[in-house]
Amino acid sequence: MGLVSPVLTLLELYNPPMGNLDIVQKISVLILPVLFAITVHEAAHGWMANRLGDATARMLGRITLNPFKHIDPIGTVLLPLLMFLFAGFLFGWAKPVPVSWRNLKNPKRDMGFVAMAGPGINLVMAVIWALLVKLGVEIIELSQWVAVPLIYMGSAGVLINVVLMVLNMMPILPLDGGRVMASLLPPRYAIPFSRLEPYGMVLVVLLLVTGILGRLIWPIIQFTIEILPASDVVWQVITILFAR
């Protein structure tokens, strides 16, 4: 923890005090990490499906890093913006990547692999963002104009990707974790479990508004961030970004 105070002192020297970031500055810090997180997550689903025999996403142009192919105007733009402005946290969704399970080589097994690709790539991105934070810490006295954005956006990227990974791996359909669960269950259990999908998002929203969702996933989010590089700096920046 000895790293934190010197780094934050330097950030305050090179930028306006972190506690004084206005809403426009905070959104500027968050926008790139959010776009990368959702874009690469959805593209990973399509890439894995294509590898396993289903070219639907590729034919529809969804295996791409172009965020406009994956953005849902309400779930990716309007709702997260309103949630951040009025509730202090982010919640939303992107356009789901279409997968035709009949085209997969081993549909039951492969749907699990396709589902795991999204959260898996979020974990990879969280590690990359954490390494960028560490790089920013190392170079802040040499080039603050590079280091400060790296630390800000890197910390946001760590949180966003870890939250996406943990949330999506909850064993509730239509979340990725629910698809993984369905692929692992024996058919006699997987079929009735799959019939619960129409009610899954209602359950997620109920868990969210009652605060149960946060209590369930926050310890896992904390643990994951703690084992990543520069976690002490990441926590300090997250505190500032989401301060009310």
Instruction: Enumerate the active-site residues.
Output: 42
DSSP annotation of 79 = H
- Cα separation, 47 vs 227, in Å, equals 28
Q: Tell me the two tokens of residue 108.
A: 């039951």
Buried b (16+ CB within 10 A) or exposed e, 130-167: bbbbbbbbeebeeebeebbbbbbbbbbbbbbbbbbbbb
* 172/219 Cα distance (integer angstroms): 18
Peptide linkage before 174 cis (omega within 30 of 0): yes
Q: DSSP of 150-163, one letter per residue?
A: HHHHHHHHHHHHHH
Report the phi/psi class of residue 93: left, alpha or beta, with left for phi > 0 and alpha for psi in -120 to 50.
beta
Two structure tokens written together for 27: 């959104």
Distance between CA atoms of residues 173 and 200, nearest Å: 5
If you search the block for the tokens 């300090």, which residue do you land on? Answer: 236
Cα 96 to Cα 76: distance, rounded to the nearest angstrom: 11
